[in-house]
Amino acid sequence: MNDSSSWPRVLDLQFLGRAGRISAGAIDTPAGVLVVDPGPASCLPALVGGLAALGCAPRDVHGLLLTHIHLDHAGAAGTIVRQHPHVKVYVHERGAPHLVDPAKLLASATRLYGDQMDRLWGEFAAVPAANLVVPADGDVLDAGGALFDVAYTAGHASHHVCYRDRRSGVVYAGDTGGIRVGPSPYVLPPTPPPDIDVRAWHGSIARVRAWEPSGVFVTHFGLHRDAAAHLDALGRELDAWDELAGTILAGVPADARMSAFVESVRERVRQRVSADEAVSYRDSMSLEDCWAGLERYWRKVR
């Protein structure tokens, strides 16, 4: 834990036994390791294994820096805190109540995932309020002696927050930074229901860009050092999808809209990445869910 130049570390959580799907970040601080988005409880063995490879035991974890509380990012938080009650959990003010009482969050996830909940995510245990630390938008957060700039970044989720590590300049962008699962500079905007807000998302991208990050760390997947190009690509794709949604809503019969969207996006991806990468993007996010999120945005927000 003493070679500070090699931090942050990317931990592959081997979601469903596969590499490159969900990553957690590991950051050293004077108080111990900070884990950015520990992932779902179903991935805990891989998280513990990844920490062990860095020479860290679970008890060395000082805190969990959550970008948002979706199950693939924050599902394991309560289980980790139950096993290690000293662990602090950093979270957006709108996410905090759902960690203390996850009933609503789990009900809405169950509507989406049904009987696959346990296989995909495992346990989602509550986090005691006493473990929570809730930074405000614009704060400078001291997490274990390391300083982070904090920005509330709606767009993907209304309770999303990004953190800029003041030492490394890396921004932990969760899903606000999109999905990028290959070396190609293609970034896919994950737009599932119920919170998608394209205009707010552009504002969030602008705030991250204004930090002039030395890298963008995204959960799906890992650290990308070409931060400006990455953010440009994300903004362009978000606009293209938004426009596509409008075109489909205006000209395609209701029962054919979802498949029209999915086909158009698959074709866009195929044109921009290698065949292998196209498979990775296909596995990275349900485009049916992306349609549902955009359709809702056009109906309720735009």
Q: How far is the CB of 72 from Zn ion (least distance, A)?
A: 4
Q: How far is the CB of 43 from Zn ion (least distance, A)?
A: 12
- 146 contacts 162 by C-beta, under 8 angstroms: no
Stretch that binds Zn ion, among 13-21, 94-102, 171-179, 269-277 (CB under 5 A): 171-179
Phi, psi (5° rounding) for residue 183? -75, -20
Nearest residue to 162 via CA among 114, 201, 112: 201
User: In angstroms, rounded to a whole number, what is the distance separating the alpha carbons of residues 46 and 276?
Assistant: 24
Q: How far is the CB of 74 from Zn ion (least distance, A)?
A: 10
Residue placing its CB nearer to Zn ion in the complex, 29 or 204: 204
| Helix (H/G/I), strand (E/B), else coil: 84 | coil
Residue placing its CB nearer to Zn ion in the complex, 12 or 72: 72
Q: How far is the CB of 233 from Zn ion (least distance, A)?
A: 18
Residue placing its CB nearer to Zn ion in the complex, 72 or 237: 72
Residue placing its CB nearer to Zn ion in the complex, 121 or 211: 121
Residue placing its CB nearer to Zn ion in the complex, 62 or 159: 159
- 226 contacts 182 by C-beta, under 8 angstroms: no
Binding-site size for Zn ion (CB under 5 A) equals 2
Q: How far is the CB of 254 from Zn ion (least distance, A)?
A: 28
Draw the binding track, 217-236, toward Zn ion (x: CB under 5 A; -: no contact). Answer: --------------------
C-alpha 214, offset from chain centre? 18
The CB density around residue 302, as the number of other CB atoms within 10 Å, is: 13
Amino acid at 150: V
Orientation of helix 198-210 relative to helix 227-251, angle to 10°:
170
User: In angstroms, rounded to a whole number, what is the distance separating the alpha carbons of residues 140 and 148?
Assistant: 6
Q: How far is the CB of 70 from Zn ion (least distance, A)?
A: 5
Draw the binding track, 57-86, toward Zn ion (x: CB under 5 A; -: no contact). Answer: ---------------x--------------
Q: Which residue has the tokens 């002039």?
A: 212
- 193 contacts 289 by C-beta, under 8 angstroms: yes
Residue placing its CB nearer to Zn ion in the complex, 172 or 248: 172
37 lies in the binding site for Zn ion (CB under 5 A): no
| Helix (H/G/I), strand (E/B), else coil: 168 | coil
- 46 contacts 13 by C-beta, under 8 angstroms: yes
Q: How far is the CB of 218 from Zn ion (least distance, A)?
A: 9
197 lies in the binding site for Zn ion (CB under 5 A): no
> What residues are paired with 27 via a beta bridge?
34
175 lies in the binding site for Zn ion (CB under 5 A): yes
Residue placing its CB nearer to Zn ion in the complex, 72 or 277: 72
Amino acid at 26: A
Residue ranges binding Zn ion (CB under 5 A): 72, 175
